[in-house]
Amino acid sequence: MPTIEQLTRLLAAEPDDVFLNFGLAMEYVRDDRLDEALAQFARVVELDPGYTVAYFQWGKTLLAANRHAEAREILARGVQSAEAAADKHARAEIKELLDAIPA
């Protein structure tokens, strides 16, 4: 897996590459840099609102940061994205995570 530094360099040349932005977000999560990860997930969805996996990972990261209300909102958007893409598997995964958030 590329490092944060490598991904940042690649993104300097291709700032709108969805896959690179998502990879950077995931690396930030791995490095426990949650605020930076959250900003990157927002960037991914800005670039491609149909990138359903980003909503799932964004929601998980918000939950890890104890930001439950925001996680509910993002995961609900992810359910809508999965429905629009007719991706039943992604919808089920996102919905399961959404339903597991304590009230």
Domains of the chain: 4-100 (1.25.40.10)
Confirm if 53 and 61 have CB atoms less than 8 A apart. no
How far is residue 2's CA from residue 94's CA, in Å, rounded to a whole number?
A: 26
Average pLDDT across the chain, whole number = 97
Local structure of residue 101 (DSSP, 8 states): S
Tens-place pLDDT, residues 21-68: 999 999 999 999 999 999 999 999 999 999 999 999 999 999 999 999
Give how far Cα 101 sits from Cα of 20, 54, 64, 89, Å.
29, 18, 11, 19
* This prediction's pTM: 0.94
